Amino acid sequence: MCDSCNVMIINGVVCHEAGCPDAWRDEERECQWCGQKFIPEDKHQRCCSESCEMDYQGIPYEPEEDYEDVDLLVEKAIEARNDEWASRNMGPNEY
Protein backbone atom coordinates (compact mmCIF):
# COMPACT_ATOMS: atom_id res chain seq x y z
CA MET A 1 0.00 0.00 0.00
CA CYS A 2 2.83 2.38 0.79
CA ASP A 3 6.43 1.87 -0.31
CA SER A 4 7.80 4.19 2.33
CA CYS A 5 6.26 2.96 5.57
CA ASN A 6 3.95 0.40 7.12
CA VAL A 7 0.50 1.92 6.90
CA MET A 8 -2.18 1.14 9.44
CA ILE A 9 -5.89 1.22 8.72
CA ILE A 10 -7.68 2.85 11.64
CA ASN A 11 -11.48 3.06 11.38
CA GLY A 12 -11.18 2.69 7.61
CA VAL A 13 -8.73 5.59 7.39
CA VAL A 14 -5.27 4.94 5.99
CA CYS A 15 -2.66 6.15 8.47
CA HIS A 16 0.98 6.47 7.52
CA GLU A 17 3.83 6.46 9.97
CA ALA A 18 4.96 9.88 11.16
CA GLY A 19 7.31 11.49 8.67
CA CYS A 20 6.36 9.20 5.80
CA PRO A 21 7.22 11.05 2.57
CA ASP A 22 4.27 9.48 0.77
CA ALA A 23 1.62 10.27 3.38
CA TRP A 24 0.20 13.07 1.19
CA ARG A 25 -1.14 10.43 -1.23
CA ASP A 26 -3.84 9.48 1.24
CA GLU A 27 -4.29 12.88 2.78
CA GLU A 28 -7.50 14.75 2.21
CA ARG A 29 -6.88 18.40 1.47
CA GLU A 30 -9.08 21.42 1.26
CA CYS A 31 -8.95 23.36 -1.98
CA GLN A 32 -7.22 26.70 -1.36
CA TRP A 33 -9.61 28.34 -3.76
CA CYS A 34 -13.09 26.83 -3.32
CA GLY A 35 -12.68 24.91 -0.05
CA GLN A 36 -13.76 21.59 -1.52
CA LYS A 37 -12.11 18.47 -0.12
CA PHE A 38 -9.95 16.51 -2.53
CA ILE A 39 -7.26 13.85 -2.63
CA PRO A 40 -4.14 15.33 -4.22
CA GLU A 41 -2.56 13.66 -7.24
CA ASP A 42 0.56 15.70 -6.83
CA LYS A 43 2.47 16.41 -3.66
CA HIS A 44 2.28 20.17 -4.13
CA GLN A 45 -1.29 20.31 -5.35
CA ARG A 46 -3.23 23.00 -3.51
CA CYS A 47 -6.51 23.06 -5.40
CA CYS A 48 -9.14 20.48 -6.28
CA SER A 49 -9.02 21.16 -10.01
CA GLU A 50 -7.02 22.90 -12.67
CA SER A 51 -9.56 25.70 -12.94
CA CYS A 52 -9.28 26.34 -9.19
CA GLU A 53 -5.50 26.18 -9.39
CA MET A 54 -5.53 28.76 -12.15
CA ASP A 55 -7.93 31.04 -10.31
CA TYR A 56 -5.78 30.66 -7.22
CA GLN A 57 -2.72 31.70 -9.21
CA GLY A 58 -4.64 34.55 -10.81
CA ILE A 59 -4.60 33.08 -14.32
CA PRO A 60 -7.78 33.74 -16.30
CA TYR A 61 -9.47 30.45 -17.08
CA GLU A 62 -11.01 29.99 -20.51
CA PRO A 63 -12.97 26.73 -20.49
CA GLU A 64 -12.79 26.38 -24.26
CA GLU A 65 -9.04 26.45 -24.27
CA ASP A 66 -6.89 23.39 -24.05
CA TYR A 67 -5.03 23.45 -20.77
CA GLU A 68 -2.60 20.61 -21.24
CA ASP A 69 0.10 23.01 -20.15
CA VAL A 70 -1.59 24.15 -16.96
CA ASP A 71 1.52 23.30 -14.95
CA LEU A 72 3.51 25.53 -17.25
CA LEU A 73 1.01 28.37 -16.90
CA VAL A 74 1.08 28.06 -13.13
CA GLU A 75 4.86 28.02 -13.20
CA LYS A 76 4.88 31.16 -15.34
CA ALA A 77 2.43 32.90 -13.00
CA ILE A 78 4.59 32.05 -9.99
CA GLU A 79 7.68 33.22 -11.83
CA ALA A 80 6.02 36.48 -12.83
CA ARG A 81 5.00 37.07 -9.23
CA ASN A 82 8.47 36.29 -7.98
CA ASP A 83 9.85 38.77 -10.52
CA GLU A 84 7.42 41.35 -9.24
CA TRP A 85 8.58 40.75 -5.70
CA ALA A 86 12.19 40.88 -6.79
CA SER A 87 11.61 44.17 -8.59
CA ARG A 88 10.17 45.59 -5.38
CA ASN A 89 13.09 44.19 -3.41
CA MET A 90 10.78 42.09 -1.31
CA GLY A 91 10.89 38.47 -0.39
CA PRO A 92 7.83 36.28 -0.72
CA ASN A 93 7.23 36.52 3.04
CA GLU A 94 7.64 40.25 3.48
CA TYR A 95 4.55 42.03 2.37
Binding residue for Zn ion (CB under 5 A) from 4, 8, 43, 79? 4
Contact string (CB under 5 A) for Zn ion, positions 18-57, x = contact: --x-x--------x-xx-x----------xx---x-----
Q: Residue 4's Cα: distance from chain center in Å?
A: 21
Our finding on whether 77 is near Zn ion (CB under 5 A) is no
Q: Rounded to 5 degrees, what are φ and ψ at 48?
A: -70, -25
Choices 3-11, 59-67, 71-79, 81-89; region in contact with Zn ion by CB under 5 A: 3-11
What single string gives the DSSP state of each residue in 37-81? Answer: EE--SSTT--SSSHHHHHHHTTPPP-TTS--TTHHHHHHHHHHHH
Min dist CB 93 to Zn ion, Å, is 25
